[in-house]
Amino acid sequence: MTEPAQHQITAAGVGLNVLSLGDPDLPTLVMVHGLRDVAWSLIPIAEPLTDRYHVLLPELRGHGASDKPNAYSNENFVYDLYCVIQQLASQPVVLLGHSLGGHISYRYAAVFPEQVKALVLVEGLGPPRSLERDPALSPLAYYRQRLLEMFANEPDRRPLPGYEFAAERLQKNNPRLDPHQAQIIARKAVLKGEDGQLRWAFDSRAQSVFVNVSQTQPEDFWRQVQCPTLVISGDLAHEYWGTRRPSEEHYDGAYAPGEMEARAAIFPRGEHLHFKQSGHMVHYDEPARLTMETRSFLEKHL
C-alpha cells in the first residue's frame, strides 16, 4: 500500500483528516467511505487510478482521525465534503461513495451539479424496501421506534485487547476481506485514547444520520443528478441487511428482483452493475474489479 499524504482542513469548526494520492495537477477523484469504516480501506481501489487522477480520501466526521463533534446530519456531511472539494480539489470532480459515502455523494451531486462530472455509487442507495417502515405504523410511531433502536443498540465501546483482535474481528464480519488488508485497516481503524486504551475509531453516534431517512426522500435527490452515474450493488448484500432486523427470524435481507435496476433507472443518466461475489463491502470483497469497472465507466463518459 502506498503511503498517502495527509491533510488537515476545517469545516465549520470541525477538523477533518483527508488522505491524498497521486499528482495534484491531475483531475480530482474524491472517494468517500461509509459508516464505521475509514478512508484507508479505499486505498487499494484508489491507488491504481492515480495514473489518471489525483485521489482525495476524506475521513468523515466521527471517523478515523477526524473530529467527533456529535453533529451527524446529512447536511453536516455534505457541507464537510463541500469544504474538502473547495480547499483541496481541482473542479469539477469525480465522486465515488460507498454506503453512507454514497448517500453523501449523490446529495452533493444533486445540490452542486456544476462541481461533479461523474458519480460512482457503491452499495450507496440504502436498504431493501422490505426494511422500510411497517405500514401498520404511523410515521410518528416509526420515528419513535427508530430513534429508540438507534441509540439503545449503541455498539460496544469497551477497550480492544490489541490490533490483532481488531483484524480478526474485521475478518469475522467480512470473511472475503484479504487477511493482509484486514491487518492494515485494523491499524487505521483503531485509535489509542487518552487513557492509553485501544478502541474503534468510530463515533457510534454517527449512525443517527439514518434515523429519519425514508426511501422516497433520497429519490428526490437521485432525479436531480445530472452527471453520468454508475450504481454498483453486491449480490451478497443480504448478508449485511439480514442482520438489521434480528428480531424478525424470517427476514433474509434480500432485495426484490429488479429493485436495484429500478433505483438506478431513476438517475437521469444511471447505469447499474451487479457484483456477484460481493456483499455490502464491495471494496473488501472485489477490490480489483471495483477499480476496473470504475476506470472503464470513467473512460467511457469523460
pLDDT digits (tens, 9 = 90+) for 36-53: 999 999 999 999 999 999
Distance in angstroms (rounded) separating the CA atoms of residues 125 and 75: 17
Q: What is the mean pLDDT of the chain?
A: 91
Whether 274 is in a domain gets the answer yes
Whether 278 is in a domain gets the answer yes
Q: Is the pLDDT of residue 292 over 70?
A: yes
State residue 171's pLDDT score.
96
Whether 273 is in a domain gets the answer yes
The domain total for the chain is 1
- Mean pLDDT, residues 223-241 taken together: 96
Q: What is the CATH number of the domain that holds 118?
A: 3.40.50.1820
Q: Is the pLDDT of residue 140 over 90?
A: no
Distance in angstroms (rounded) separating the CA atoms of residues 19 and 3: 9
Q: When comparing pLDDT for 247 and 136, which is higher?
A: 136
Whether 238 is in a domain gets the answer yes
Whether 236 is in a domain gets the answer yes
State residue 210's pLDDT score.
84
Whether 263 is in a domain gets the answer yes
Whole-prediction pTM: 0.94
Distance in angstroms (rounded) separating the CA atoms of residues 15 and 21: 20
**Strand partners of residue 14:** 11
State residue 156's pLDDT score.
57
- Mean pLDDT, residues 64-69 taken together: 96
Whether 250 is in a domain gets the answer yes
State residue 245's pLDDT score.
58
Whether 160 is in a domain gets the answer no
- Mean pLDDT, residues 235-239 taken together: 94
- Cis preceding linkage at 257, omega within 30: no
- Mean pLDDT, residues 46-73 taken together: 96
Give the least confident one: 75-84, 195-204, 237-246, 268-277.
Answer: 237-246
Distance in angstroms (rounded) separating the CA atoms of residues 212 and 27: 36
Q: Is the pLDDT of residue 131 over 70?
A: no
Contacts of 124 (CB under 8 A, 6+ apart): 97, 98, 99, 100, 101, 102, 103, 105, 106, 231
The residue range of the domain holding 120 is: 5-132+212-301
Give the least confident one: 7-21, 38-52, 164-178, 192-206.
Answer: 192-206
